[in-house]
Amino acid sequence: MNKPRFFTTWFLGVVIVLFIVLFPILTVADDSPLQQGWTPSIFGKEDEVGSVNWITDKKVLDAIKLVKKGKTVTLGKVYQSDIPVFGERTWKLIIPGVPTGGPLGDNQIVYNDEYVIAELGQIGTQFDGLGHIGVNTSQGNYFYNGHFLEDFGTSYGLNKLGVEKIAEKGYVTRGVLLDIAAYRGVKQLPVPTGKGKNDPGIITVDDIKGAIKKQKIAPIQQGDVVLFYTGHGNYWGEDWDSLTEEEKQENKQLFNAGEPGPGITACRYLSQQKIAMVGSDTWGTEAVPGEDINRPFDCHIEWMVKHGITNIENLDLSELVKDEVYEFMFVFAPLKMKGATGSPGNPIAIY
């Protein structure tokens, strides 16, 4: 045996194996959460609910004062099988049996149940909990407050950061609507084209401050829920059921092709205001693509992973826009689904 050649071959084999194993870690891992000290949270190292903690008893009482007419508007959209979805997500509702059961007893009662197949917390109007988004670091998948998915994640639910924790508290606070489309003088903001922070599809800090001034409302305050209206959600509007199948498919493609929204600079500004939650009429709230095309969904990381700020997407804000209501009492609680990453829902604005 030629020992030098054998050793060289063996050594190269080891190097190749190590390269295959370590290359994803060396090239993909982002250690910003570890290097920048994202943990412990400002709410303590044991906290699992994040920014909902900013909603104090006084904040609730102040929100009640915003109700002047007693009008209520629901902000959720209808869940059905043909709605636009992210990726390969799905919504299927089946009524087994029709009727599902009966008749029973002398009164011959019958009943229907529903069987739902869906990514229940991540479809339609959806609330992103703190177990939804994390960052791949060299030490594992890092989530809010230094929790690593390898320690708390299972296929049957999360043992930490489950949405049921926030559901115990819920949101009753000041809601702020920022009609950025009206502020810009357009019906609908364009989808960004990946040209950086000056892209017209990206909402800036100046847009936020300008809309607040134009709408003549108080600045964003600690514990507020801030909602963006871009007009992009009109691709999936109240006339959805009246569209032909071809029109629906075209609208889905336009809706999912990207979305206007705040860029990372504006997202950091909102974090600094210590808001309780952010949301919009789009499918992901933030600009897609954002200021850096190589850092997708950077605002999700900034909000949820770094600061514990939750996010609610695919809202119907049309009634608030029509009534020109820019601050109101916002009421919402996710479903108490143990270990879930998110929740469906139907928030209420009262004014």
Enter the tokens of residue 268: 């950091």
Q: Taking 90 as the threshold, does the pLDDT of residue 291 lie above it? A: yes
Percent of the chain with pLDDT over 90: 91
Do residues 133 and 300 lie in contact, with contact meaning Cβ atoms separated by under 8 Å? yes
Q: Return the CATH architecture of domain 35-78+121-350.
A: 3-Layer(bba) Sandwich (3.50)
Q: How many CA atoms lie within 13 A of 123 on its CB side?
A: 19
Q: Taking 90 as the threshold, does the pLDDT of residue 14 lie above it? A: no
Q: What is the phi/psi pair of residue 270, to 5°?
A: -65, -40
Cα–Cα nearest to 337, from 131, 47, 30, 150: 131
Q: What pLDDT score does 259 carry?
A: 98
Q: Taking 90 as the threshold, does the pLDDT of residue 17 lie above it? A: no
Summarised one tens digit per residue, pLDDT across range 294-326 is: 999 999 999 999 999 999 999 999 999 999 999
Threshold 0.85, pTM exceeds: yes
Q: Taking 50 as the threshold, does the pLDDT of residue 187 lie above it? A: yes
Q: Taking 50 as the threshold, does the pLDDT of residue 8 lie above it? A: no
Summarised one tens digit per residue, pLDDT across range 201-237 is: 999 999 999 999 999 999 999 999 999 999 999 999 9
- pLDDT band of 23, cuts 50, 70, 90: very low
Mean per-residue pLDDT for 126-148? 98
Summarised one tens digit per residue, pLDDT across range 60-89 is: 999 999 999 999 999 999 999 999 999 999
Q: What pLDDT score does 73 carry?
A: 98
Summarised one tens digit per residue, pLDDT across range 245-279 is: 999 999 999 999 999 999 999 999 999 999 999 99
Domain extents for the chain? Answer: 35-78+121-350
List residues bridging with 142 in a β-sheet.
Answer: 135, 148
Out of 25-34, 104-113, 178-187, least confident range: 25-34
Q: What pLDDT score does 197 carry?
A: 87
CA 51 to chain centre: 14
Q: Taking 50 as the threshold, does the pLDDT of residue 240 lie above it? A: yes
Q: Taking 80 as the threshold, does the pLDDT of residue 6 lie above it? A: no
3-state secondary structure the chain: CCHHHHHHHHHHHHHHHHHHHHHHHHHHCCCHHHHCCCCCECCECCCCCHHHHHCCHHHHHHHHCCCCCCCEEECCCCCCCCCCCCCCCCEEEECCCCCCEEEECCCCEEECCCEEEECCCCCCCEEECCCCCCEEECCEEEEHHHEEHHHHEECCEECCCCHHHHHCCCEEEEEEEEEHHHHHCCCCCCCCCCCCCCCCCEECHHHHHHHHHHHCCCCCCCCCEEEEECCHHHHHCCCHHHCCHHHHHHHHHHHHCCECEECHHHHHHHHHCCCCEEEECCCCCCCECCCCCCCCCHHHHHHHHHHCCEEEECCCCHHHHHHCCCEEEEEECCCCCCCCCEEECCCEEEC
Q: Taking 80 as the threshold, does the pLDDT of residue 5 lie above it? A: no
Taking only Cα atoms into account, the Rg of the chain, rounded to an integer number of angstroms, comes to 23
Q: What pLDDT score does 132 carry?
A: 98
- The residue among 316 and 26 whose pLDDT is bigger is 316
Q: What pLDDT score does 282 carry?
A: 98
Out of 18-32, 136-150, 165-179, least confident range: 18-32
Q: What pLDDT score does 27 carry?
A: 53
Mean per-residue pLDDT for 117-144? 97
Summarised one tens digit per residue, pLDDT across range 43-66 is: 999 999 999 999 999 999 999 999
- pLDDT band of 159, cuts 50, 70, 90: very high
